[in-house]
């Protein structure tokens, strides 16, 4: 353990308290880069006392015990979160605050996210309580969310600003979602004064349907002329059943909106049943003057979906889609179709047709080398493998294994001087964010952190992120390294967080701990309360249903989402689930990793008779889902990196069996 004595000002900047001595501890286990942690003999105790006093003051304020609040808030002048007390004090009388008081608040605390939240609440209250004169003085009606804009425009309407309202409302109207109730009086006025044209009525109706809100669309039909009602009914029918396009006689009206309906219906049909769409589309392709780009978009999506299913006509559709212009995704799938057929000359030809920048990406250099190798051109293949083997990527590691070379990890530690540490730690936003983190107020901490990082120079963002990681806030270390392109700072990008939990779970479920670490890094970047749009939670991003089933099978406790937000419990449940996937897929980590991301059922579908004898690299490259392809590559590469981070002897990216084929003994 090396120790670097810092200046007293450094620790004082972090804690806001008098300090007798500060020490930067720099642990370096197994090549792990230094993590700065500021400590001292006096300041931690002082900060803890302030923290306790702050919490008591908050509690007194929530009970409106102002006498106790005033007493407790004294002595917190240099505490990082003292402004939060002031703002919460103001929030108790927010709705009687004057514009001057709000201006003073923003002048004093404008760099704090909570201040902006309070100002917005105040503005909305002005409108809801009918304080129109004050609202129009402080808001021009052209910014903010829909509710605030509507309230503000109503305030200006009270002042006779008819033209402003008539100019601004069309922008609000063109929404595919329901508008707040606060907008209703404004919209009524706008319609009564001739603002709503049939073109605007159709535009919003169309937006509502295409944004997936048919209920709103049915409501909006009342604003359409009788002549347009059949068209609106047709669009709703196509939304619910795009197979309606098979009845061509229903789409013979000479109206550009029919072209809109057909294009929308085709997009939905392509997603639902690309084979059927491929049958129908040639009939409609030249039938209407579609909006610019509509034909290209339909044919690109159709070609890609047919390619992911390796449809016999996929190559033809890919070529057709490319006739509209160069497109990287289409070029890549031309190669994948050839790979699936193991047509190596065609693989080389398709890669050669790519633009230079795309062709020289590591992925496609690797596949050039593989094709050359298969075509008995070993010298050319080896030259490409040599170039790739210096890369710290899935393909770089594959190339190194092909050559029998050690991996190039290219690790660099983060170097920081005491001046940089002092400067960053003295930043009010950084101090507030770290203290909020210590109080486990993670949403507020992240809001403060984001705002603070926006104001720092790039070099200081890296320093701040390293400091946060030293406090155990590992997600900020990961995000900071990415934001500053510090790709070689492996200690920041791949933290060894929650060591006991990961090691214990991996041992109990007979898993490679590096693999489990890699999954957590890919899933959540070590954000313990991470939540996906699919409803997965925690470090290893488990769905509640999956966690419940896993807990029952493994004899573990599960009490709902709170269990998933506990790192220890999440790691154990995630490891148990991963172990079951590994067993199901015959100890093949590639398949188990893919199943962790895409689901067991989908991966089982992808292992058909044609794919079981595919080499693993081809199978990974030709998986239908872009997300899962990238996911598997990342997790396998991260597993290697975590082995290095933990000081283990280098192994191989894949086992011999994983390399050979996807030939499993039994996949149920």
d(C-alpha 508, C-alpha 336), whole Å: 39
Judgement on whether residues 456 and 562 belong to the same structural domain of the protein: no
Q: Which of 248-252, 452-456, 538-542, 624-628 is the least confident region?
A: 248-252
Q: Which of 240-249, 587-596, 602-611, 612-621 is the least confident region?
A: 602-611
Average pLDDT over residues 35-52: 67
Domain count, the chain: 5
Q: What are the structure tokens assigned to 600, written together?
A: 């067991």
In a domain, 354, yes or no: yes
Judgement on whether residues 464 and 383 belong to the same structural domain of the protein: no
pLDDT at residue 609, as a whole number: 62
Question: What is the per-residue pLDDT across 477-511, written as a single tens digit (0 to 9) for each?
Answer: 999 999 999 999 999 999 999 999 999 999 999 99
DSSP conformational letter for 26: E
| Final residue in a domain of this structure, among 461, 485, 509 | 485
**Centroid of chain to Cα 25:** 33
Percentage of the residues of the chain whose pLDDT score is greater than 90: 85
d(C-alpha 9, C-alpha 482), whole Å: 30
Average pLDDT over residues 347-364: 97
Burial class (CB in 10 A: 0-12, 13-18, 19+), 603: buried
Question: What is the per-residue pLDDT across 301-322, written as a single tens digit (0 to 9) for each?
Answer: 999 999 999 999 999 999 999 9
SS3 260: helix
> What CATH number did the domain enclosing 525 receive?
1.10.530.10
DSSP 411-480: --PPP--HHHHHHHHT-HHHHHHHHHHHTT-HHHHHHHHHHHHHHS-HHHHHHHHHHHHHTT-HHHHHHH
pTM of the entire structure? 0.89
In a domain, 82, yes or no: yes
C-alpha closest to that of 590 among 554, 626, 615: 615
Taking CA atoms, 72 is separated from 18, 68, 88, 348, in Å, by: 19, 6, 14, 74
Question: What is the per-residue pLDDT across 524-548, written as a single tens digit (0 to 9) for each?
Answer: 999 999 999 999 999 999 999 999 9
In a domain, 120, yes or no: yes
In a domain, 535, yes or no: yes
Do the beta carbons of residue 89 and residue 143 sit within 8 Å?
no
Look over the chain and give the mean of its residue pLDDT values, rounded to a whole number: 91
Judgement on whether residues 553 and 630 belong to the same structural domain of the protein: yes
Burial class (CB in 10 A: 0-12, 13-18, 19+), 305: buried
pLDDT at residue 415, as a whole number: 83
Does pLDDT of 5 surpass 90? no
Judgement on whether residues 428 and 348 belong to the same structural domain of the protein: no
> What CATH number did the domain enclosing 425 receive?
1.10.1240
Which of the four pLDDT bands, split at 50, 70 and 90, describes residue 254?
A: confident
Percentage of the residues of the chain whose pLDDT score is greater than 70: 92
In a domain, 101, yes or no: yes
Residue-range definition of the domain harbouring residue 633? 499-660
Judgement on whether residues 555 and 627 belong to the same structural domain of the protein: yes
In a domain, 528, yes or no: yes
Judgement on whether residues 510 and 612 belong to the same structural domain of the protein: yes
DSSP 223-251: GS-GGGHHHHHHHHHHHH-GGGGG-GGGG
Residue identified by tokens 């398949």 is 591
pLDDT at residue 169, as a whole number: 97
Q: Does 20 or 405 have the greater pLDDT score?
A: 405
d(C-alpha 581, C-alpha 592), whole Å: 5
Does pLDDT of 610 surpass 90? no
Which of the four pLDDT bands, split at 50, 70 and 90, describes residue 1?
A: very low
In a domain, 189, yes or no: no
In a domain, 330, yes or no: no
Judgement on whether residues 427 and 566 belong to the same structural domain of the protein: no
Average pLDDT over residues 327-336: 98
Judgement on whether residues 513 and 630 belong to the same structural domain of the protein: yes
| Final residue in a domain of this structure, among 352, 380, 410 | 410
Judgement on whether residues 33 and 74 belong to the same structural domain of the protein: no
Judgement on whether residues 610 and 560 belong to the same structural domain of the protein: yes
Judgement on whether residues 523 and 656 belong to the same structural domain of the protein: yes
Question: What is the per-residue pLDDT across 135-173, written as a single tens digit (0 to 9) for each?
Answer: 999 998 888 899 999 999 999 999 999 999 999 999 999
Average pLDDT over residues 575-601: 96
Judgement on whether residues 578 and 565 belong to the same structural domain of the protein: yes
Question: What is the per-residue pLDDT across 182-238, written as a single tens digit (0 to 9) for each?
Answer: 999 999 999 999 999 999 999 999 999 999 999 999 999 999 999 999 999 999 999
């Amino acid at each position: 353990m090396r120790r670097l004595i810092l200046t007293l000002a450094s620790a004082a900047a972090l804690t806001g308290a008098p300090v007798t001595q500060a020490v930067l501890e720099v642990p370096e286990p197994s090549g792990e880069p230094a993590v700065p942690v500021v400590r001292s003999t006096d300041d931690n105790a002082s900060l803890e006392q302030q923290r306790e006093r702050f919490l008591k003051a908050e509690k007194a304020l929530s009970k409106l015990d102002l006498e106790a609040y005033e007493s407790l808030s004294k002595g917190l002048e240099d505490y990082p979160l003292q402004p939060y007390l002031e703002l919460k004090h103001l929030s108790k009388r927010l709705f009687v605050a004057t514009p001057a008081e709000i201006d003073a608040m923003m002048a004093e605390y404008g760099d704090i996210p909570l201040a902006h939240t309070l100002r917005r609440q105040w503005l909305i209250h002005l409108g809801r309580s009918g304080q129109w004169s004050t609202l129009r003085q402080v808001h021009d009606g052209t910014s903010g969310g829909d509710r605030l804009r509507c309230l503000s425009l109503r305030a200006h309407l009270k002042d006779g600003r008819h033209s402003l309202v008539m100019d601004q409302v069309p922008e609000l109207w063109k929404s595919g979602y329901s508008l707040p109730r606060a907008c209703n009086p404004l919209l009524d006025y706008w319609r009564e004064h001739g603002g709503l044209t049939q073109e605007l009525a159709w535009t919003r109706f169309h937006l509502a349907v295409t944004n997936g809100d048919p209920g709103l669309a049915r409501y909006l039909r009342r604003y359409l002329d009788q002549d347009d009602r059949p068209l609106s009914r047709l669009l709703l029918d196509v939304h619910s059943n795009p197979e309606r396009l098979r009845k061509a006689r229903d789409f013979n009206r000479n109206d550009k909106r029919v072209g809109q309906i057909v294009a929308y219906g085709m997009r939905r049909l392509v997603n639902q049943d690309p084979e059927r769409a491929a049958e129908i589309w040639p009939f409609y392709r030249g039938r209407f003057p579609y909006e610019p780009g509509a034909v290209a978009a339909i044919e690109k999506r159709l070609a890609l979906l047919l390619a992911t299913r390796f449809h016999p006509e996929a190559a033809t559709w890919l070529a057709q889609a490319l006739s509209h212009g160069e497109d990287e995704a289409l070029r890549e799938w031309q190669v994948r179709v050839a790979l699936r057929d193991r047509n190596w000359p065609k693989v080389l030809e398709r890669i050669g047709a790519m633009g230079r920048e795309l062709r020289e990406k590591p992925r496609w250099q690797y596949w050039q080398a593989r094709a050359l190798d298969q075509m008995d051109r070993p010298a050319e293949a080896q030259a490409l493998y040599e170039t790739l083997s210096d890369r710290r990527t899935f393909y770089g590691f594959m190339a190194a294994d092909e050559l029998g070379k050690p991996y190039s990890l290219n690790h660099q530690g983060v170097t920081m001087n005491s001046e940089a540490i002092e400067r960053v730690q003295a930043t009010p936003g950084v101090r507030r964010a770290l203290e909020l983190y210590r109080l486990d107020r993670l949403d507020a901490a992240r809001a403060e952190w984001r705002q603070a990082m926006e104001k720092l120079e790039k070099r200081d963002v890296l320093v701040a992120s390293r400091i946060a990681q030293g406090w155990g806030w590992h997600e900020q270390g990961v995000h900071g390294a990415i934001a500053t392109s510090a790709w070689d700072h492996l200690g920041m990008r791949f933290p060894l967080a929650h060591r006991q939990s990961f090691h214990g779970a991996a041992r109990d479920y007979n898993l490679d701990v590096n693999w489990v670490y890699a999954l957590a890094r890919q899933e959540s970047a070590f954000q313990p309360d991470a939540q996906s749009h699919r409803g997965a939670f925690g470090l290893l991003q488990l769905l509640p249903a999956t966690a419940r089933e896993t807990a029952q099978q493994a004899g573990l406790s599960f009490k709902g989402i709170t269990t998933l937000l506990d790192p220890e419990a999440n790691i154990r449940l995630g490891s148990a689930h991963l172990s079951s996937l590994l067993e199901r897929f015959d100890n093949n980590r590639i398949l188990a990793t893919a199943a962790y991301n895409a689901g067991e059922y989908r991966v089982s579908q992808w292992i058909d008779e044609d794919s079981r004898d595919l080499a693993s690299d081809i199978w990974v490259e030709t998986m239908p889902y872009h997300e899962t392809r990238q996911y598997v590559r990342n997790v396998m590469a991260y597993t290697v990196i975590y082995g290095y981070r933990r000081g283990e002897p280098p192994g191989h990216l894949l086992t011999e069996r994983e390399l050979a084929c996807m030939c499993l003994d039994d996949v149920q």
